[in-house]
Each structure stands twice: as structure tokens, then as C-alpha cells.
A = this chain, B = another copy of it.
Amino acid sequence: MASYLGEHIHVSVFGQSHSPAIGVVVDGLPAGERVDMEELGRFLKRRAPGQNATSTPRKEADLPQFLSGLVDDVTCGAPLAALIENTNTRSQDYAQLRDKPRPGHADFTAQVKYGGFQDVAGGGHFSGRLTAPLCIAGGICLQMLKRRGIEVAAHIASIAREADRPFDPMGESVETMDALKRAPFPVLDEKAGERMRKVILQAKEEGDSVGGIVECLVTGVPAGLGEPMFGGMENRLAAALFGIPAVKGVEFGAGFGVATMRGSENNDPFTVKDGKVVTQTNRAGGILGGITNGMPLVFRLAFKPTPSIAREQQTVSLSKKQVEELVVTGRHDPCIVPRAVPVVEAVTALVLSDLLFS
């Protein structure tokens, strides 16, 4: 297991920040699924940089070329392959990165693992740019899920100490979920959004970056998905979500909050609604014993602040084995969280599809 994921819908991601192209192969998509290319384009644009002042001004076309797997925009059962060309490759001199690893990045661990042969330009395969192919694959799965009544939406739950209102764990309306997808800065409470943007710009001005939390909600999930123990829904989602760069924590339902709760507070009482067994609350985040119970899935991911900051940092020269100062040049997102929102949706869709289309 490395840059591939899934048993039935098997995703294999390739590319480096500055290789000729990045892309993805998706093996196992059911045949006969139409890909709405405009919808997919809108989805990819949500992840693209340069949307507003809170993200890096670098522009990307990011229009995927489909190499296989589609006939007239409909899946044909064969592996789907798509690529995005990298237009601005090798424009800079990245040689120093091989000797002076950037704090908080994978430069040092890549050096250890690949013995100096790793592609250092722009972070190579560890670049956040590799989330674009994930969004192609996940964007297609999101369309397949929506067609079956499963809605996936995420929002910025917090940036630094500024928090949005949380999702109602009992579910949100499709309108609310859809609105988030049209929002350039996806929050439920616009006032909170304004405060968050201010915090991001403040960090940017100070040559720094900030972290935050993304919360994801999935409605319409049938009960019975997932297996016991290591095949649980939490296991599968976590195994995939930690593949998004900068994620350092994943929690489901009440999450770390359960640690301070009593059983009588945390247990969700069962009840009957419209002849259907449901829970009255949803502290479990829709999962009991690793298996979905028919309630919405709710989970949160902690994103660390972008490690690339304008401030001088301390690193070492690997060749000289001595401490040196480093200034990371280039333009970077002062906060990765807003652009991570569609990536969380995409990866969630991949995991759910892998279970649903088995």
C-alpha cells in the first residue's frame, strides 16, 4: 500500500509537483456511469489555487485529459485514466532542498527513504498538488453517490481559534450541503468565515501560516456498510483520509469529546421514526462496531499549518551535518484548509464507493 487505495474501486495516483504530468488510474468503476464534465470541472476548481486572497496566487489550468475508461463521457468498465499536465515544471533551482530539508516537509524523510534520488522539485510526489488527481477520481465517485441519494459535504470547521457552527449530526438539508459546494469559502456561518479569513490574512502578513479543522457530513448512507474490526468504516476512512497531506488527526462522531463523557451521555438512544429504526442523537457519527447504522456519517480532520512559511527557519545541511538557516521561497497557501475541503469530500467518496460498488 502506497499511492494506491481500494479493493473494488482501486485508485492509483501518480506524479510529482514538477513531473510532466500528474494523474490517476481508477480501476473498477461500474460501467454505464455518466461523468458530468462541467460538474467535475466545478468540483476541481474548488481545489484549484488562486481562488482568492487566502490561497496561493499560482494559477493552474488543471483541466484533466481522459486517456481511457470513458466512451462518450460514460464509463465503459475499463480502468479510467486521467492526467493533468504540469506546465510550470523545473522553473526553479531546487538543488538546495536536497541538502537543506524544509522543517515540517517530507524532504528529510524522502532523502532517507530514496537515498537522494527523490524528486525534490516542489516537494515531488509529496506535494499537495497530488490531491488534484484524487479530486478527479473522487469527483466522479461523488456524482455516482449523489445519483444514489448519498450526499457528501464538508466545511471549514475552524481556522486557528475561529470556529464555524458544527454540522447538525442528525443531518443537514441537501440545499445547505449544496450551498457549501458553491461557496468560495465553505462555511455554514458567514460571520465565522469572515473571522477565519482575517486570521489567515493576518498569518500571511506575518509570513506565517495557520491550521484548522475540516468537518465532513455524509447523508443517505445505507445501514450495514463496513466490516467488524479492521474492516470498519472508521478504519477505512481513516486509512484513506490520513493520505491527505497535513492531516494529523481524524475523529468520528463525538470524537475526542467522548473522552470526557459518561456512557449515559454518549450512548445514542434508539427510537422509531417513520417506521424506521434510528438513533435519537448521533454521537456515534453513524457508525457502531465499524458498521454504518443508517445515520449520517460525521467526522473531523485536523490539518496542520502549511509548513512552507516565509519566515527564516532552522534546518541542517545534510552534507555538512551542521545547523543552517533556511528561507523557503515561492508563494504558498498561508492556510491549506479551504482548499482541502473538496479533497476531504473526494477521498470520502472513494472510500464509500469502494464499499458500495463491491
Contact = CB atoms under 8 A, between A and B. Distances in A.
Interface string A2-25: 111101101011111001111101
A253 to B, nearest CB: 6
A32 B208 contact: no
A167 interface: no
Given A31-B118, A238-B238, A305-B258, A80 B20 contact: no
A14 B106 contact: no
A295 to B, nearest CB: 11
Interface in A195-213: 203, 208-213
A280 B313 CA distance: 12
A81 interface: yes
Interface residues of A, number: 143
A133 to B, nearest CB: 10
Contacts of A19: 67-69, 78
Interface of A: 1-5, 7-8, 10, 12-16, 19-23, 25, 27-28, 31-32, 65-69, 71, 74-81, 83, 101, 103-106, 108-110, 112-119, 124-126, 130, 158-161, 203, 208-213, 223-224, 227-232, 234-236, 238-240, 242-243, 245, 247-272, 275, 277, 279-280, 284-285, 288-294, 302-309, 311, 313-316, 318, 321-323, 358
